[in-house]
Amino acid sequence: MDQTGNELNVTYITLAGHVEVHKYRYLYFVIMFTVYILIICSNSIIVYLICIHKSLHEPMYIFIAALLLNSILFSTAIYPKLLIDFLSEKQIISYPACLFQGFIYYSFGGSEFLLLSAMAYDRYVSICKPLQYPTIMRMTTVKVTLILAWILPACQLLGTAILNATIKICKSVLNGIYCDNAVSKLSCGNTTAQNVLGVVILLNIALLPMLFIVFTYARILIISYNSSKDVKKKAAQTCVPHLLVLINFSILCTFDVVKNRVESDLPKTVRLIMTLQLIVYHPLFNPIIYGLAMKEISKHLKVLIYQDKLN
């Protein structure tokens, strides 16, 4: 680090959120490596089943596959660096790499909300406008929706990443085990522009999709309540898994906001536990919910497991 006045030109950031990593480094590595493999395998199996079975080549299942693929990409932005840190003497990351990791982290997080919004709309059309479903939810519409779900968050977050790349930082310690929006607190300058842009992005890729999802499911609930038992059963079978995933992800996102806002008031161990909830629980929760609760996926999963046992 080169010092100029009161400002430091910091090349590397120390990730200080680890708890007794030198004492338990190998235990941490084995546990997190196992979790990462489980995330890759569990999500990939469901995606594989959706790809190979034509009966699952419907918008609802395509969106599920995209959501699970998003979980794999989200985890891959965090776990490889985390595993390296466990085995390293110093848990450090270069500032550009830190910005890139934070960009990827929030980009795929934003994509998650947009994909959940697309799934909510798909269920709304299927249950509330069944006769118009083939016309509205065409494969072209699905493809465009998937592209936008991955591109829009990245495009919006690019502005914040560029602003953060231009600021000078005078702190070299980040209270976390990976890079998130707390990196802006390392700045020794005015970060008002980053904060305002961050709020706008939060509204666009999280709060507005959340309001859309709530409105959509409220409409489904009202229409299902006044419909036949078959419609109620269909709504319950296909909407409940999505709602569980949405609630789980929303709670974990709230954790992310809280831990970055009150980091000085949180004990280090509590902060670490909240952080691990974000990167461990959700990527494993999704394939379990969809693998068990979605009837068609569960059926093909049982056949796959049964074939493996026979072999």
Inter-residue contact 105 to 78 (CB < 8 Å): yes
Parts of the chain with a pLDDT under 50: 1-8
List the one residue out of 295, 132, 123 whose CA is nearest residue 223.
123
Give the domain extent around 271: 2-310
Q: Is the pTM of this model over 0.85?
A: yes
- 289-293, long-range: CB < 8 A, 24+ apart: 289/241, 289/244, 289/245, 290/46, 290/64, 290/68, 290/241, 290/245, 291/42, 291/45, 291/46, 293/237, 293/240, 293/241, 293/244
Please state the domain count of the chain: 1
Which pLDDT does position 305 carry in this prediction? 79
> In the prediction, which pLDDT does 262 show?
66
Q: What was the pLDDT predicted at 2?
A: 43
168 contacts 189 by C-beta, under 8 angstroms? yes
The confidence score (pLDDT) of residue 309 equals 59
Please compute, for residue 12, the number of CA atoms within 13 A of its CA located in the half-sphere on the CB side.
Answer: 8
Yes or no: say if 66 and 30 are a contact pair by the CB < 8 Å rule.
no
CB 139 within 8 Å of CB 217: no
Residue 48's domain is classified under what CATH number?
1.20.1070.10
